């Protein structure tokens, strides 16, 4: 701690508002540790400033000034509060069947064959059903329609088997729709596993394949354990860095259980991912502290600015564990790299650093050939499916019934349970909630095609 900082620390500790006093004391304690600010201290202070803003702390306070001067957390307090002028978010409930049919019809208008459009819409609606709002209707326009329109994703392409054995295959998707390539590859993988026990299929030259959890669910439905992963455009800065180098690179696992829902672990190897940050923007909310770092090493929370700077590569997502080895960022970096290797080295696909999506010579959108991998394990080669499911369910119930955190919300959930709850709630209440930004997308897409105007003259929310 510098001499110049000491008066500010004293001012923090001396200030007396009841709601802010614990936060002032926490800020003073962080600064009082002395020495050069570490990455862990910066992340800790950024989190404190988020809580400061939520508690109504003033932006001209010493707590904020020290955060900016000492820890480089510029504007975090102001950015951490919802936008004051943000209008109320008026969601509209839309039935799954209607939404799925609408998405299928949109794909057809972009040149996707009817049967492939059905598959693509099925993958997307599964996200909306399961509460993965970052990967359903929210991705239809910005990811699929815009890329189809730009010509960097093909509406249909050959599904080429480049190399094959009884237990393996290498597929070239020729830049077709990943929402179609992915299900075909996983179907092939499951069929091979049923024949030989364990199988792996890898894909090159594909595109965004939607919610990764869709693919283990396919395996579970056929009595298998399923794994999948994919690389993506560079978004994650490795531990110690600030340059986006790795994709969000999910490693996803699914297996059966005798619970009412399967065990499906579907998560990126970054703390957060672009789709959720896009959702924060639609809802006028900040990005939680500790999840994004910029080229100056500043931990960012300003959602709109983050989305802009992610596009220009001026900031990066933090890996699981944040921005410090003390909080486990080396683990997230390692898992993201593992997924990158399986998504590129086996099938000969470009790595994430090459997938910027921008032609460096012209600045125009460029194709992003993605690599995927799929693994299926036939449970019956080891034990009866019912026995396996019972053992898995028993373990999960033990976890959920274990001693609860007395300061927590009183429950423990296991992977797949939040999605099952979302599916139950949405099914019982007539579908998924669509926010105004996506309602506008639906209206704008309809206006571009006479066939859609004829079939959908008025949406339920109009």
Structure tokens at 132: 């993965």
Torsion sign (Cα): 127, 132, 135, 136:
positive
For 138-179, the pLDDT digits (tens) are: 999 999 999 999 999 999 999 999 999 999 999 999 999 999
Q: Are 132 and 169 in contact (CB under 8 A)?
A: no
Could you tell me the pLDDT band of residue 51, with boundaries at 50, 70 and 90?
Answer: low
Domain borders along the chain are: 3-79
Instruction: Read off the pLDDT of each residue in 271-276 and give the average, rounded to a whole number.
Output: 86
CA angle 270-124-247, nearest 5°? 25
Mean pLDDT along residues 4-33:
55
Q: What does the alpha-carbon distance between residue 339 and residue 23 come to, in Å, rounded to a whole number?
A: 39
Q: 278 pLDDT band (50/70/90 cuts)?
A: confident
Instruction: Measure the CA–CA gap between 4 and 18, rounded to whole angstroms.
Output: 27
Q: What DSSP line would sit under 180-218, residue for residue?
A: HHHHHHHHHHHHHHHHHSEEEEEEEEE-----TTHHHHH
pLDDT digits (tens, 9 = 90+) for 106-149: 999 999 999 999 999 999 999 999 999 989 999 999 999 999 99
Provide the Cα torsion 41, 44, 46, 49; round to 10°: -120
Query: How many whole angstroms separate alpha carbon 27 and alpha carbon 8?
Result: 10
In the numeric block, which tokens belong to residue 229? 């992963």
Rounded CA-CA distance 319/333 in Å is 6
- pTM of the complete model: 0.80
> What's the average model confidence in pLDDT over 32-38?
61
Strands (E), 292-406: 292-294, 315-317, 370-378
Q: Give the relative orientation of helices 178-196 and 114-129 as an angle to the nearest 10 degrees.
A: 80
Select the more confidently predicted residue: 64 or 268: 268
Tell me the pLDDT band of 70, cut-offs 50, 70 and 90: confident
For residue 79, name the pLDDT band (cuts at 50, 70, 90): very low
**Mean per-residue pLDDT for 47-73?**
68
| Gap between the Cα atoms of 341 and 326, Å rounded | 25
Mean of pLDDT over the chain: 88
């Amino acid at each position: 701690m510098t001499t110049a900082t000491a008066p500010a620390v004293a001012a923090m500790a001396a200030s007396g508002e009841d709601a802010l006093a614990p936060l002032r004391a926490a800020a003073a304690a962080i600064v009082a540790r002395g020495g050069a600010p570490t990455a862990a201290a910066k992340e800790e202070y950024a989190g404190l400033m988020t809580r400061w803003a939520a508690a109504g702390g003033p932006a001209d306070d010493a707590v904020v000034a020290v955060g900016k001067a000492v820890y480089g957390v510029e504007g975090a307090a102001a950015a951490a509060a919802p936008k004051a002028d943000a209008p109320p978010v008026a969601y509209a409930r839309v039935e799954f069947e209607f939404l799925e049919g609408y998405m299928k019809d949109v794909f057809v208008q972009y040149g996707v064959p009817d049967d492939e459009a059905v598959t693509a819409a099925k993958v997307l609606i599964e996200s909306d059903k399961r509460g993965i709002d970052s990967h359903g209707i929210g991705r239809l326009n910005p990811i699929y329609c815009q890329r189809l329109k730009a010509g960097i994703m093909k509406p249909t392409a050959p599904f080429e088997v480049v190399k094959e054995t009884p237990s393996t295959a290498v597929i070239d998707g020729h830049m077709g729709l990943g929402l179609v390539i992915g299900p075909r590859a996983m179907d092939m993988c499951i069929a091979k596993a049923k024949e030989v026990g364990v199988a792996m299929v890898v894909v090159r030259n594909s595109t965004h394949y939607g919610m990764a959890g869709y693919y283990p669910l396919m395996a579970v439905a056929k009595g298998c354990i399923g794994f999948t992963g994919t690389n993506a455009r560079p978004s994650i800065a490795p531990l110690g860095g600030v340059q986006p180098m790795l994709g969000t690179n999910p490693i996803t696992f699914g297996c059966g259980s005798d619970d009412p829902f399967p065990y499906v672990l579907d998560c990126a190897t970054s703390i957060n991912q672009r789709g959720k940050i896009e959702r924060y923007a639609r809802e006028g909310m900040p990005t939680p502290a500790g999840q994004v770092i910029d080229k100056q090493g500043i931990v960012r929370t300003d959602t709109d600015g983050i989305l802009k700077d992610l596009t220009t590569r001026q900031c990066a997502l933090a890996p699981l564990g944040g921005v410090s080895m003390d909080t486990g960022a080396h683990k997230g970096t390692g898992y993201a790299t593992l997924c990158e290797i399986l998504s590129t080295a086996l099938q000969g696909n470009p790595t994430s650093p090459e997938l910027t999506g921008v032609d460096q010579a012209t600045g125009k959108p460029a194709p992003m050939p993605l690599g995927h991998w799929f693994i299926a394990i036939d449970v019956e080669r080891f034990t009866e499916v019912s026995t396996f499911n019972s053992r898995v369910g028993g373990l999960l119930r033990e976890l959920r019934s274990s001693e609860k955190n007395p300061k927590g919300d009183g429950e423990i959930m296991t992977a797949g349970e939040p999605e099952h709850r979302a599916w139950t709630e949405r099914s019982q209440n007539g579908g998924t909630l669509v926010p105004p930004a996506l309602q506008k997308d639906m209206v704008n897409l309809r206006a571009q095609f006479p066939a859609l105007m004829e079939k959908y003259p008025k949406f339920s929310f109009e």
